[in-house]
Structure 1
Amino acid sequence: MKKELFIFILFIFLSFIFWGAISLGEEYVITLQVPVRIVLPEKDFAVEGDFPDKLEMRLKAPGWSLLKIKYFQENNFTIRIKEPINSFVYRTENITNDLLGFPSDVKIISIQPELISLSFNLASEKRIKIYPRLNYSLKEGFILASPVNLQPESITIRGSRKLLAKIDSLPTETVEVHQLSEPVAIETKIVDTLSNLLVYEKIPVKIYLDVQQVVDKDLEKVAVDLINVPKGKDVILLPSFVDLKLRGGINVLGNLQSDSTKVFIDFKKYSELSEEEIKPEFNLPYGVKVVDYFPKKFKLIIRK
């Protein structure tokens, strides 16, 4: 019984192979997107204007050849510019299998667009920022204890002056990380947009997330500074110290001392006759917040 079952399964398997071989020998028509790559003779020039970054091709060929093109080879069409001229036009009807690396049995039915028009200008360089496209979430009881850090933070790009004037930054590819409970470093890269218009070094970008456990910490007798007191005015603040209850990342709070925590009251915000509650302000490290403070009431004594 087992032997008969094995023979039956083998028969079905071989049937599929023969059916696939026959099917792939037949001709099919597909639509293929082929990236366009522009190669300039000198770094002093840059491509300008609107032109397609991809060609849409309709191809007819045996299944085997189409399978190879679609899944087993890198497809792109390269235009090599010998001399930049004011108006360069390339007719896509001149594209052949040899230029694309296609097998000889592939027939190119149509290519869109029919014309590729290019213009050129002097190239310039500019240093711009990289910004992360980042979606993240943290486990309960954890925070991001410092700003998101990128290495490198900026990159030099080269292109036409007209284009560079419109670009201040480039994004990374979107990164998604969730339920984080420890620091992480993620490697990504800049989104390859405007590939024929911009030239820049294709280097990896590392994104660092300083994830820390949330803890509380008490600081006692933190000095309160009185700022923006007019010259010649004698003002006394009572009391001049405050106790703080802080919440933040475990490593940040572990290194935080009273003398590195700035608490102040801005005299400009309170008139001499004001009886409103005087509230201190806090200058704290990233991710640290004040849960509570004591005393709640402060008084300004102005000496005549």
Structure 2
Amino acid sequence: MKKNIHIIIISVLFSIILWGSISLSKDYYITVNLPVKIVNFREGYTSGSKTPEKISAKIKGTGWKLLSLSLGSESEYFVSAGGDTGRKYINLYNSLSDNQWLASDMEVIDLNPDTLSIRVEKVGRKKVKIDADLTMDFKPGYGLADDIQIYPESTYVVGPVSYLKSLTLLHTEKKILSNLDSKIVDHVSLKNIRGMSYDQNLVTMYLDVQKIVDKNFDNLPVSVLDLPNDREVVLLPNRISIGVRGGVNILGKLNKDKFKAYVYYRDVVLDTLGSVVPLVEIPKNTSMMYIKPERLRYIIKKYN
């Protein structure tokens, strides 16, 4: 009985293989999406036009050929620029001979689109600043104590001159960092722009994540700027207190000498309320929480 089962299984498998072999020997149709690659530019030239990234090709061939086409590595459809410059219209059917991967027993029935319009122009080189495309989430009480540092800050971009004219910023690939509570050093690739190449494709980002705290500074003297020689302005009071927020390591190194408080004489003269708002310059990467008092009264004295 077991012997009969084995014979039945072998017979079924043989029948399936035979049926598959016969079926795959017949002609079929398949539609594939092929990346377009334009080649044979004159030296120092490239395409300055946006072209479809892929074209749709309907192909006729035996099942075996179409199966290998479907299961193999993705094929590219090569289109020759012909060494020309300027505006050029290319019939894609004329490029069939440039695509050796199309076997002689395969027939291209339809291409969509069937024509490309390109502008062949000079290749340029330009240095462009890099910007981080970054989404950050911090643990409670933490944040960035300094600006995000990117190394290198910029890179040279090679591509069509017309594109480079309007290119002012390169972005990195999107990066999401969550639950941050300490300094981060991370590597990220630049976002690819079709038709462009970069001297540097990978950048390093430095994120100075610190505990964010508040600190008070009292008795800051307030100066009067642009004061005429024959005038004196007495501020009441002439000292203020401020509250500043920033990274714990940054605020820990600050003293009140790092701050500058002042009013402009012109603002005093033009005032109609009897008091002016003091201006305060604070160090980089800190933010002002409050100024006390918010307004200062004054007395103007004139000397003969």
Taking structure 2 as the reference length, the TM-score comes to 0.74
Identity of aligned pairs, percent? 23
Q: 2:204 aligned to 203, 206, 216, which one?
A: 206
Match of 2:277 in 1: 279
Aligned partners of 1:106 and 1:237: how far apart in 2?
92
Contact 2:213–2:248 (8 Å) recurs in 1: yes
1:287–1:202 distance in 2 versus 1, CA, 3 Å: closer
1:281–1:162 distance in 2 versus 1, CA, 3 Å: same
**Secondary structure in 1 aligned to 2:185?**
strand
Match of 2:118 in 1: 118
Match of 1:85 in 2: 85
Q: 1:260 aligned to 246, 258, 273, which one?
A: 258
**Secondary structure in 2 aligned to 1:270?**
helix
What are the Cα deviations for residues 39-90 of structure 1, in whole angstroms up to 9, with x where unaligned? Answer: 53423x3422343233233456557525533xxx354344455623334443
Contact 2:172–2:188 (8 Å) recurs in 1: yes
Farther-moved stretch of structure 1 (90-99 vs 206-215):
90-99
Match of 1:176 in 2: 176
Match of 2:138 in 1: 138
What are the Cα deviations for residues 149-186 of structure 1, in whole angstroms up to 9, with x where unaligned? Answer: 22222222234443333222232222222222222233
Aligned partners of 2:260 and 2:121: how far apart in 1?
53
Farther-moved stretch of structure 1 (116-125 vs 172-181):
116-125
1:98–1:284 distance in 2 versus 1, CA, 3 Å: same
Farther-moved stretch of structure 1 (207-216 vs 290-299):
290-299
Q: Following TM superposition, by how much is the alpha carbon of 1:286 offset from its aligned partner in structure 2, in angstroms? A: 4.1
Q: Across the two proteins, how many residue pairs are aligned to each other?
A: 281
Match of 1:215 in 2: 213
Match of 1:149 in 2: 149
Aligned partners of 1:254 and 1:106: how far apart in 2?
74
1:100–1:279 distance in 2 versus 1, CA, 3 Å: farther
Match of 1:40 in 2: 41
Aligned partners of 1:171 and 1:67: how far apart in 2?
35
1:184–1:107 distance in 2 versus 1, CA, 3 Å: farther
Q: CA RMSD in A?
A: 3.6
**Secondary structure in 2 aligned to 1:219?**
strand
Q: Following TM superposition, by how much is the alpha carbon of 1:101 offset from its aligned partner in structure 2, in angstroms? A: 4.3
**Secondary structure in 2 aligned to 1:271?**
helix
What are the Cα deviations for residues 174-209 of structure 1, in whole angstroms up to 9, with x where unaligned? Answer: 2222222222233222222232xx343252123332
Contact 2:217–2:243 (8 Å) recurs in 1: yes
What are the Cα deviations for residues 83-133 of structure 1, in whole angstroms up to 9, with x where unaligned? Answer: 233344433224559836467886644332212233323343332222222
Match of 1:166 in 2: 166
Structure 1: stretches of 5+ with no match in the other structure: 1-10
Aligned letter for 1:162?
S
Match of 2:222 in 1: 224
Which has the larger Rg?
Answer: 2
Structure 2: stretches of 5+ with no match in the other structure: 1-8
Match of 1:4 in 2: none
Aligned partners of 2:177 and 2:104: how far apart in 1?
46
Contact 1:35–1:75 (8 Å) recurs in 2: no
Aligned letter for 1:289?
S
Match of 2:6 in 1: none
Q: 1:68 aligned to 66, 71, 91, which one?
A: 71
**Secondary structure in 1 aligned to 2:93?**
helix
Aligned partners of 2:200 and 2:59: how far apart in 1?
32
Q: Following TM superposition, by how much is the alpha carbon of 1:136 offset from its aligned partner in structure 2, in angstroms? A: 1.9
Aligned partners of 2:175 and 2:107: how far apart in 1?
40
1:125–1:182 distance in 2 versus 1, CA, 3 Å: same
Aligned partners of 1:286 and 1:168: how far apart in 2?
25
Aligned partners of 2:231 and 2:58: how far apart in 1?
84
Q: 1:247 aligned to 220, 238, 245, which one?
A: 245
Aligned partners of 2:172 and 2:190: how far apart in 1?
4
Aligned letter for 2:68?
S
Contact 1:183–1:208 (8 Å) recurs in 2: yes
1:259–1:77 distance in 2 versus 1, CA, 3 Å: farther
Match of 2:30 in 1: 29
Aligned letter for 2:43?
E
Aligned letter for 2:122?
L
